[in-house]
Structure 1
Amino acid sequence: MEPESQREIARMSPSLTVSRIAAQQGSVLRELRTASLREAPYAFGETLEDALLVEPSYFDETAARHASSEKLATFLLYTEGHPCGLVHAYIEDAPNARAFVSALWVAPAVRHLRGGELLVKVASQWLVEHGAAEVHAWIADENRTAMRFYERLGFGPTGDRRAMPSHEEEAESLYVRHMHSAREA
């Protein structure tokens, strides 16, 4: 059963809903991932060409894993029942594990409805419920819009930077939001 706070967040906008990916939604994951790379190739850690070369079974396996794992999840945004966005949430597998949101994307036609905010809030809530005190996000330095978006949600730069995995000539910066309670996500 979904906690009350997560139900409230998931219904923030009357035309938008968010739910955790279901095991059989590999094709939806692939569709949204490739759409995100077509629309904003500079913002993610892979290229459209790489994503198109991946076997559909990989997306099926990823959806199944993200549907049931205690360490990682994908949340899908819907408008009137149609998938239109996604975000990943995960907890590092390391001694001082950090929690992250990543690969946030919302279709341009519905961005004005605040779906990105809804996705990050639901994913952050899930991370808090799994023990996170902070939520992190790597953001491409070139993506000023994403930086402003995360800052509006209470994230701030940590000062850590690294080369982007698929575009080593470009950098990304680490942002963090300190979570004080499950209600604040």
Structure 2
Amino acid sequence: MSSTLTVRRIVADQGDVYRELRAASLREPYAPGEAPEAELLNVDADAAAVVAAQRATSDESTTFLLYTEGHPAGMIGAYFDNTPERRAFVSELWVAHAVRHLRGGVLLVETATAWLVERGAQDVYAWIADANRNAIRFYERAGFGNTGEHAPIARMPGAMKSLFVSRVRP
């Protein structure tokens, strides 16, 4: 039996789905250096509801949800930063282990990138924890390259992240 993957933009009443997927991503054992235990406890239902409602209609930031056979199985954020350059970013990418072999991550990145390009992005950036070798390999296979820019991960003393970019100019 083959699984069907679909991606849809989050809708305003999906705070519970956002919270569930975000909490699952923060529990990820293969993403070292990204989420301290304290953050797991702070995936608040009310805050998740606000995030879902805001991202459902914004032209500056959104979340896309991956479904397999109608069940939530992954997510990705897409947003423009508040700098004068208005750089486009993907973030919070996570796909359930059971469906990673189905290439849901690629589908999420492609969908988020298309949304950003429709709104004027010429490059799409992603901050990736240096310790997360799986994520680095995934983004490199998806066409992202390391810019050489590094920064500390604020919520993880001593951990660093690197900025990757995909050139999507028309």
Residue type matched to 1:112 in 2? H
Q: 1:48: how far off?
A: 4.4
Q: TM-score, normalised by structure 2?
A: 0.93
Q: Deviations over 1:12-55 (max 9, x none)?
A: x96100000000000000000111111245353x4343242343
Judge conservation of contact 2:15–2:45 (CA < 8 Å) in 1: yes
Who is 2:151 aligned against?
162
| Bigger mean CA offset, 13-22 vs 121-130 | 13-22
For 1:149 and 1:54, the matched residues in 2 are separated by 26
CA deviation map 1:149-171 (0-9, x unaligned): 11111100000000112112111
Structure 2: gaps (5+ residues): none
1:89 and 2:67 are equivalent in the alignment: no
Task: Tell me the TM-score normalized by structure 1.
Answer: 0.86
Is 2:15 the counterpart of 1:26?
Answer: yes
Change in 2 beyond 3 A, CA 1:129/1:48: farther
Instruction: Tell me what 1:5 maps to.
Output: none
Contact 2:64 2:77 in 1 (8 A): yes
Kindly indicate whether the alpha-carbon contact (under 8 Å) linking 2:3 and 2:68 is maintained by their aligned counterparts in 1: no
SS in 2 for 1:100: strand
Counterpart of 1:42? 32
1:137 correspondence with 2:122: no
| Distance in structure 2 (CA, Å) of the matches to 1:15 and 1:49 | 35
Task: Tell me the residue number matched to 2:96.
Answer: 107
> Matches of 2:95 and 2:123 in 1, distance apart?
23
Residues 127, 161 of structure 2: 8 Å contact kept: yes
In 2, Cα distance between equivalents of 1:48 and 1:67: 28
* Secondary structure of residue in 2 paired with 1:158: strand
1:32-89: CA deviations, max 9, x gaps?
Answer: 0111111245353x43432423431110000000000010000000000000100000
Q: Percent identity?
A: 52
RMSD of aligned C-alpha atoms? Answer: 1.5
- The 3 A distance-change label for structure 1 pair 70 and 107 is same
Q: Residue 59 of structure 2 corresponds to which residue in structure 1?
A: 70
* 1:180 shift after superposition: 2.4
Across the two proteins, how many residue pairs are aligned to each other?
168
Q: Secondary structure at the match of 1:119?
A: helix
Give the secondary structure class of the aligned counterpart of 1:154. Answer: coil
Higher helix share: 1
Runs of 4+ in 1 over 2 A off after TM superposition: 40-44, 46-55
Deviation at 1:100, TM superposition (A): 0.2
